[in-house]
Amino acid sequence: MVQVCEQNCSGHGRCVDGLCLCRAGYLGDACNRVIGICPRNCTGHGACDERTATCACDPGFTGADCGLVDSPCPRDCSGNGRCSRGICQCKAGYSGRDCSVACPNRCSGHGDCLNGTCYCAAGWQGDDCGLMHAPTGLHAIVPAAYAWYPIGTAVFFLVAFLLLFFLGGYLFNVCSGLRGTAAIPLYNYFSASMYGSDYALKTG
């Protein structure tokens, strides 16, 4: 009685008395495993495709050599992240082991979500990082002036010009030796004009 070998030795060996005598480079009861072609011989957790020299991993294993455990992520990351080797990489605005914890308004795109709390980026505030920090000092004045555009802007710069003119003129006159009201720019001019008008009125 002729004994038949398993899978006819997969075409990689010779059948002798029901046992496969594998050719060099193959092993296994059916000579269906390749030696030294696939990375680490697929670590015993997969089959080697000799045509492409790649491993077809068994369920539950992954990697080029099937040496990594392909652990499923919790709840498949709740649809809010990507599973990488059993760990969820959450999308912006979500956190938690399974990416199920959502932050208010997903932090408005201006912060990081951690355990349901938004940690806002610089310049933003609020539970959902949706509010800008209120400007202070000169940064608060200038935008307000531009908000009245065009009249408000003109008034703002006119006042600034007059302040600089009188302050600069006063300092210049003081340095020139003038004191008191004489150092005030245009003071003598306006005083003379008012005096002349008053005198003309009285004599009239």
CB 173 within 8 A of CB 182: yes
User: What mean pLDDT comes out for the span 85-91?
Assistant: 84
pLDDT reported for residue 111: 87
Does the pLDDT value for residue 200 go beyond 50?
no
User: What mean pLDDT comes out for the span 92-111?
Assistant: 88
Does the pLDDT value for residue 202 go beyond 60?
no
User: 127-171 pLDDT, tens per residue?
Assistant: 989 898 766 655 555 555 555 566 767 777 888 888 888 788 788
Domain edges within the chain = 6-68, 74-132, 138-195
Burial (0-12, 13-18, 19+ Cβ within 10 Å), 183: middle
pTM of the model: 0.34
The CATH code of domain 74-132 reads: 2.10.25
Q: Name the CATH superfamily, with its identifier, for domain 6-68.
A: Laminin (2.10.25.10)
Are 6-68 and 74-132 equal in CATH topology? yes
